[in-house]
Chains A and B, each alone.
Chain A
Amino acid sequence: MRAACTTYLGDGLLRGERLVYVGDRQHGHLVDDLAGLANRDAMLDSGQLEVHTVDELYRGDGQFRAHVQVEAFRRRAEQAVDDGYTGLRILGDITELIVDESLTQQLIEYEVAVDAMFASRPALALCAFDRERVGPKWRLVTALHRVQHLGRHQPAFAVTVSAGVVHLVGEVDTSSAGDLARLLDAIADSTQGELTLDLKDLEFIDIAATRVLALLQRRLGARGRHLHFAGVGPSAVNTLRAFALNGDMAP
């Protein structure tokens, strides 16, 4: 974690960004994590560097709520620019939020919404978590992040949402179909109207994962909502066809 702090936040420092570090330990320990940053104390004094506990930053009013959190980060990103920084960079160890089962739906909605919000602002976030404490759920959480740093673990897939389009990235198969279903169901539940699933960055999809898409289309269809497939390339065309699913081909 200390190495990530130095590298990721140090890079932001060079770019003149405001830096925010969040973790689920005591304040003093979090500050210690940042020992590798030059001018740490001066930056803390000037307000370029902020250190917060998870409770302070994510549970301001006692509970974590996706839309409140996204709005708070939007304001922080704009404030950073108003204060003369080139942008906002957040490094958050959110293990505590992930292990709380009651927060899963909120967390998925949050990750999807914050991704979309940051996409249009000079802001960047790196979500960190302790894989040992998170357990098998690490795949689900990882899949909500387009860029993944997984150490020795197998690369998975990612689901990101921007401008009402859900992008499915990487490789998804029978071993990750359950996570895919959970994520897409959560995204479907937090959106309305037609949903577009863009598959252009999909490297592999099998029958088991395509079945998830077919069942989602059927489930949405029963509620009068349409699931549309876009960017269908050679990796997906065969399996989609096996379920009589059609979509727009990738150019």
Chain B
Amino acid sequence: MTATSRSTVGAWTGEGLAHEAFIFDDDEAMRARVIPYIEEGRVQGQPSIVVASEGVCTLLADRLGEDRSDLVLFQDSERFWEGGSQTLATCQERMTPLLEAGGPWRLVCQPTWLTRVGGEVWSRFEAVANDAFADYPYYSLCLHDRRQLSRELVEDALRTHPLMWDGDDVVRSPAYQPTAAFLRSVEPPWTERPEGRDAEVVTRPGAARAFVHRLLPGHLPEDHIEDVVLAVHELVANALNAAGAAEVSHWHADGSHVWEVRDDGTGMHDTAAGYAPPRRDVPSGRGLWIARSLADEATVRPYGPGTAIRLYFREHD
């Protein structure tokens, strides 16, 4: 199969982000989509970054010939996975030189880590990337091998990518959902807080740390304790900034420790807050991001004029 004369990137003109879920069933279909995409980028002076499994990289390399000076290959996509927050931050870091060079560029990304334990949370970061990188001038072609992914993961891909491939052309994904709607559908439900939970109102961050230390079982690994303390502390620090006082609560639910921090100051309560990596040039906005990156789950809701945030940490035996 050879490259067709039709554009491989639909209506994308190199301005802003275009984000496509490409679902394939066999290697030939994958090559037929990706090779012309990279070659077209070459013709247009757009470099390509490929993050994919070793198998996919080998299949591509065979076809792309000797000259790969405008191609950056990361063969081992497995090693790319460092949890959702950090992986998205790494993506941002890798793209920064291209952004500074003015772009546009093309990305081929096969998130093989979706099938790992905890890797399914990546679908949320795919959703958040639509907003976080909206002004980054690149086309993101996300490879999804149906032979390796569950039906749910494929459906999530179509809900988080505005574009898809219909076998012949780039089209809108009919299943695509706005970020907040998608996040709420996959995050833990916001249930009533249980009676008998532990709770304390604090006005100093040190008091909140002491509260967490008091409630965490002493046999937990030290680095886990430090993660929980830091995550809760950062939420409390934000709450104290916004309101001067924070209510910290703790309970158990479905095999997780839940920590909730509430304040009634006027603050942020965007569902997607803290998913996207902080911008390097802006020194603020890292507290919630680091809390999310340390917790297994985190949910944000309005609480009156203020904010309530819950962190979930899976219980250790």
**Partner-B contacts on A (CB < 8 A):** 154, 171, 173-175, 204, 206-208, 211, 214-215, 234-235, 238-239, 241-244
Contact = CB atoms under 8 A, between A and B. Distances in A.
Contacts, number: 55
A175 B223 contact: no
B205 A242 contact: no
Contact of A238 (B204, B206, B227): B227
A235 B226 contact: yes
Report the 5 A-B pairs with minimum CB-CB distance, sorted nearest first.
Answer: A174-B237, A242-B286, A207-B286, A234-B223, A207-B287
26 contacts: A171-B206, A174-B237, A204-B209, A204-B229, A206-B205, A206-B233, A206-B237, A207-B234, A207-B237, A207-B286, A207-B287, A208-B237, A211-B283, A211-B286, A215-B283, A234-B223, A238-B230, A238-B293, A241-B86, A242-B278, A242-B286, A242-B289, A242-B290, A243-B283, A243-B286, A244-B280
Interface of B: 86, 93, 204-206, 209, 222-223, 226-227, 229-230, 233-234, 237, 240-241, 278, 280, 283-284, 286-287, 289-290, 293-294
B177 to A, nearest CB: 29
Interface of chain B: mostly helix, strand, loop or mixed = helix
A239 B293 CA distance: 11
Nearest to B278: A242
Contact of A239 (B209, B223, B230, B283): B230
A173 B93 CA distance: 27
Nearest to B284: A211
A238 B82 CA distance: 13
A234 B222 contact: yes
Contacts of B283: 211, 214-215, 243
Contacts of B284: 211
A192 to B, nearest CB: 26
B267 to A, nearest CB: 15
Contacts of A243: 283, 286
B206 A206 contact: no
Nearest to B205: A173
Instruction: Identify the interface centre among A175, A206, A239: most chain B CB within 10 Å of its CB.
Output: A206
